[in-house]
Each structure stands twice: as C-alpha cells, then as structure tokens.
Chains A and B, each alone.
Chain A
Amino acid sequence: METLYALSFGALLAAALYLLMSRQLLRMVLGLLLLGNAVNLAIFVAGRLSSITPPLVPEGALGMATSANPLPQALILTAIVISFSLVAYTVVLFERAHRALGTLDPDAMREAEPRAEAAP
C-alpha cells in the first residue's frame, strides 16, 4: 500500500513541477494546487498506514490497541485550509495581473524589471 502511495506522490509531484515550469499563469496555479496535494499525501504516508479504525477511544476504555494515526490528519487539514486560501488569493492576483498587463506569460511581464535596463 505504501508503494502505491509513494508512486502517486511521485506522479503528482512530477505533474506539479511540469506545470510550474510552463510559461502560463493558469497552469502554474494548477501546479501549485497539485504540489500542495502531493505534499499532503506525503504527510499522510509519513504517519504510517496502519489501520482504518477511527482513533476514537470507546467510553470507559483507557486506550485502544490499533487505530489510524490522527496527527497527520490534523496536519493535513491545517495544510489544506492554508493552501486553499493562498491559492484563492493567487488566482485573484493572477486575474488582476492578466487584466492590467494583458498577458499570462510571466516572462513577458517586465513592468517591475524592464528588459532594456538603461546601463549607467
């Protein structure tokens, strides 16, 4: 099972990096989104895929022998919320940039760093 997860992590990571290297802002957003999910998967596997029993201790008991590891789920939940808000912001920023600069190619955006910088 771990192998399957590791392979999907690798595939997601490869796709994310491929998209991030493209010269199109929309693909880059998708790349960031995929990258976030790939990392979430990695955290999930790092917490070990031991059991599918929910980590809920039955009433009266002091503990339980095996359960799913709740900590990676808490981490991933936090990471999902953060990456959701940041990607939402990024989409808005890219849309504004597209309207203001008239291009989606980051290499063609030369407002902050003009191409022909006047040599002193």
Chain B
Amino acid sequence: MTPHLLLTLPVAIPLATLALCALLQHRPALQRAISLLGSAGLLIASGLLLRAVLDGTVLATQFGRWAAPFGISFVADRFAAAMVVITGLMAVAVSVYALTSGAKERERAWFHPLYHGLLLGVTGAFLTGDIFNLYVWFEIMLIASFGLLVQGGTRAQLDAGVKYVVLNLLVTTLFLLGVGLLYGLTGTLNMADLSVALPLVPNQGLVGTLALLFLLAFGAKAAVFPLFFWLPAAYHTASAPVVAIFAALLTKVGVYAILRCFTLVFGGTLDFIGPIVGVLAALTMVTGVLGAAAHYDVRRILSFHIISQIGYMLVGLAVATPLAIAGALLYVLHHIVVKANLFLIAGAIRLAGGSYELKRIGGLHRSAPLLALLFVVPALSLAGLPPLSGFWAKFLVIRSSLEAGHVALAAVALVVGALTLYSMLKIWNEAFWKAPTELSLRAASEWRARGAARAALLLPIAALAGITLTIGLWTEPFVDFSILAAEQMLGREAYVQAVLGASASAAPLPMSLPEGGAP
C-alpha cells in the first residue's frame, strides 16, 4: 500500500463508519454491525501502518498535493503509529462491551456515530503533522465527547457537562491563540518546518512564552495539576463504555501533544520547560493519588488515578533522556490498556454488585469470581507490581530519573505507587472481599442470569487483561520498541526529512545522545 493510503485509512475508516452509522440510526441491528466492523477495520488499518514504520521509516504524505510546508501533512513515526494501534485496540474492546447493558438507550442517543467521531478526532490528532490541523482534530474529538458525556440526559450529567464543556472550550481557544501567535512568529504551521524555524527566531524569549502557553493548553487537556478539576467533576457521570474510552484516549491525546510538541516543535526550549514539567508532574501524581484515597465510589477513585498516572508520563519529559522518554511512551501504552480495562470492570462491578458505591456492595469474589480474578490483573498493574506491565513502565521512568539525578521525582513516583496500591486494595476489600450486602445479593442473582450479555462484558475485559499480562511477561520487544521510538523522537532528523524532503535538516536535541541502553 502507498504511504498515502496507509496514513489516511486510520482516519477515513472512522469517518466512513460515522457517516454510515448516522444514516442507519433507525436500523439498530445493522448500525451495530457496521460499528463493530468499523472498529475492527480501524485496528487492521492501524496494524498495517505500524508494520510499515517498524523498521524506523517515517511515513509522510501531503494532502491535495500541496508541497510541504504549505499543505497539510500527515506523518507517522513509531510513536504515532503505536498510539493509533492502541486506539484501534480500545475501539474494538469498547465496541464489544458497549453491546451490553444499556445499549438500547445509548443507541437512541446516537452512541455509535459519536463514538466513531471521537475515534476520528483521536487518530487524526495522532497522525497530523500540522499544528493548526491538530487544533481541528482536538475540536472534533471534543464535540464528540460532549455528545457522549451527556447521553443519558440525567441531572448529574448535565451538571458535569456544563463544567466539562466550558473548561475544554476555554483551553482549546487558548491553544488556537498559541497557534496564531506561532504563525505570526515564524510564518509556518507545519510542525517539522516549525522545528527548523523556531531556533532561528531572534527573540527566543517569545518562543519560551509561547511554549508555556502550549504547555498550559495541552496540560489542561491532559488533566495536569493544577488544571485537572474538570476530570473528576465529569467522568463519573458517563456510562461505563463511554467513560472507558474517555479514560483511555482523551487525556492521552493531551499527553501525546505535549510529548510531540516539546520534542519536535519546542525542542529547543526543553532546558527551561523541563524543570517546570518536573514540578507539575510531581504535584499531579500526588494530588491525583490523594484524591483517589479519599473517595469511596469506584469511578471516582479511578478518575483520580487517571490524573496521578498522567504525572508519571510527564516525569519522562521532565528528565528527557532517551530512556526517560521511552519510559513515558511505554507508560502511555500500558496505561491506556489498564485504565480502560478498570473502567470496564467498574461497569461490571455495578452490574454484579448493584452499585458503584463501595459502601453499598460486597462479596463479589463469590458471586463473580472470574470478574474478581480479572480485576486483580489491571489493578496490580496500575499500582506497578511485578511482573505486570505497570512495573516495567514505572521501572523505566524511575530508573531514568535516578540516572539523571532527579532523586526527588523518583521518590515521589515510588510513594505514589504505594498509595495507588492502597486504593486498589480498598476496591478489592470493599467490593470483592467483605461480606455481601443485601443489594449485592439481589444483583448477584440477576448477574448469574445474564448469559450472552455477561460473556460480552467479560470478553473485552479478559482480552485487555491478557495484553497487560503479555506486556508484563514478555517485556523486551515492548521496551526495545519504546527506546527506538524515543530515540527517533529526540533525533528529529528522520521526521523533518520525511516531511520536508532530504534537503532540510534539524539539529538533533542536545540530550539525544544514545546513552540510555536497554535496562
């Protein structure tokens, strides 16, 4: 396949599925089949894309045959392709899960078109090589998420929607302002071209200020301290499949944008951005995990953990050695799988136990033993226990920060890991281990009566747990891949040349000397 096709299919498939699902709104069975097919198609297309970039080539294409940097470019390096693959994987898992409880109500509220709209925005944001285009994909993702969040139309959802919408609109407008000023400074919007042009700007103070504006905008998207409060205010009101796909992808698009922009576009400002990111990362980890420790609603605990885990990914950028960036990449990939899975499990806990409220349920280890077993894998992986995927991701991040002399960051990361284990054990003790409540007993008999629906719930959960175990037990290829992807990002040369042609060259970042090596 041509690079053009490989790069456009992961965007074209969700777009086509979105259109078809919208047309088939009054044919639920057909719509469901198309939606599943669309998710599977996205996974296959993204797999082909990953295979094409695995050897280190960077694929790039220009839309409308406008030569770069004048047209819109789509670019895929190892990192972008891996993100698209994991998006496809989540798309399939959540599509299958969404066939179960509450599917009819969701489908009446246009679940399938909105869901594929969300995937469209996410894959577009991962693949675009143009910063204004990135803004457009952000907005597509946002408007789909607005629709999905308030699907039930309940009072809590409307309340959550108001806060989520205002904060996210404000932040994307700031991002747009940053894009406009960047254009005023350099006359280009192409990210590869910007990475060449920005170091030549005479007034580097302005570049630094703009870098901070972008950090603010993307940081709020990624729920970084102190701009995280929209997330725990909103996520727990959505239905289980919706919040699972939100938790997997939305904040991670913010993290992707931060990693991409500060290695490529603003690579030169990393010296002074790094320490700021380090402080923010530590505060994000701590506030997130403390918020989780205070709550007794499964979804709220998990929402706060999204925040604390974002902190680990930022540690990678703060340290900014190849090994640290590799740790951040592995962390993003591992976290998407684990977090989506935990939210899917939370939905199953509500069905099997009767409530999300830990005080009101209990005894699930007996009434839903398979679910209990499947909970343990992602929960311990989130806390970072060996031999699961979270251990290796944390290991890389902490080892690289110790190597670079950031002892305080490493210490915070370790303590937060222990506190994560505490709140995972809280869910285990309350929901699974303690004596069943009356509510849970009633729910358990209904749970046992669900035949096929229960299988559709547990199948994606088991598959995602399987991926977590695979990354944990067969780590080497994943770590090697992350290190290669990190070196490719910090090297920049391949990315810039793929977009602008062989004549252009960007100086590699000073910290990109390959000294990390495999652990």
A positions within 8 Å CB-CB of B: 20, 25, 28, 32, 35-36, 39, 42-43, 45-48, 71-72, 75, 78-79, 82-83, 85-86, 89-90, 93-94, 96-97, 100-101, 106, 109-113, 120
Contact = CB atoms under 8 A, between A and B. Distances in A.
Interface stretch (B87-95, B176-184, B477-485, B502-510): B176-184
Given A86-B139, A100-B158, A120-B296, A32 B173 contact: yes
Contacts of A109: 159, 162-163
Given A112-B236, A120-B296, A93 B158 contact: yes
B237 interface: yes
Interface string B127-164: 00000100010010011001000100101111111110
A28 B177 CA distance: 19
Nearest to B232: A113
9 contacts: A39-B173, A75-B132, A85-B143, A93-B150, A97-B158, A106-B163, A111-B158, A112-B234, A113-B159
B184 A45 contact: yes
Which of under 10, 10 to 19, 20 to 34, or 35 or more describes the interface residues of B? 35 or more
Contacts of B455: none
Secondary structure of the B side of the interface? helix
A42 B181 contact: yes
A89 B146 contact: yes
B159 A112 contact: yes
Secondary structure of the A side of the interface? helix
A96 B165 contact: no
Contacts of B233: 112-113
Contacts of B139: 82, 86
Given A96-B158, A112-B156, A112-B233, A35 B173 contact: yes
A1 B159 CA distance: 44
A111 B156 contact: yes
A35 B177 CA distance: 10
A106 B165 CA distance: 12
Contacts of A71: 183
B142 A86 contact: yes
Contacts of A45: 184
Contacts of B359: 120
Nearest to A79: B176
Given A35-B170, A85-B143, A109-B159, A93 B180 contact: no
Contacts of A100: 153, 155, 158
B181 A86 contact: no
A111 B159 contact: yes
Contact of B180 (A28, A42, A83, A86): A42
A109 B296 CA distance: 21
B121 to A, nearest CB: 12
B453 interface: no
Contact of B158 (A46, A78, A82, A101): A101
Nearest to A44: B180
B169 interface: yes
B246 to A, nearest CB: 15
Nearest to B430: A120
Interface in B347-388: 359
A62 B480 CA distance: 52
A44 B170 CA distance: 20
Contacts of B185: 46
B170 A96 contact: no
Most A-side CB within 10 Å, residue of B156, B158, B161, B237: B158
A72 to B, nearest CB: 7
Contact of A86 (B155, B169, B236): B169
B166 interface: yes
B169 A90 contact: yes
A30 to B, nearest CB: 12
A48 B161 CA distance: 38
Contacts of B173: 32, 35-36, 39, 83
B324 to A, nearest CB: 34
Nearest to A85: B143
B159 A20 contact: no
Contacts of A25: 162
A62 B142 CA distance: 42
A75 to B, nearest CB: 6
B143 to A, nearest CB: 6
Contacts of A97: 158-159, 161-162
Contacts of A85: 143
A102 B68 CA distance: 53
Given A32-B173, A36-B173, A85-B143, A94 B184 contact: no
B291 to A, nearest CB: 12
Contacts of A72: 180, 183
A28 B163 CA distance: 11
Nearest to B153: A96
Nearest to A89: B146
A109 B493 CA distance: 51
A101 B237 CA distance: 15
Interface pairs A-B: 7 shortest CB-CB:
A46-B184, A43-B180, A111-B159, A112-B160, A97-B158, A111-B156, A109-B159
Contacts of B180: 39, 42-43, 46, 72, 75
Interface string B166-197: 10011001001101110111000000000000
Contacts of A20: 166, 170
Contacts of B166: 20, 28, 32, 90, 106
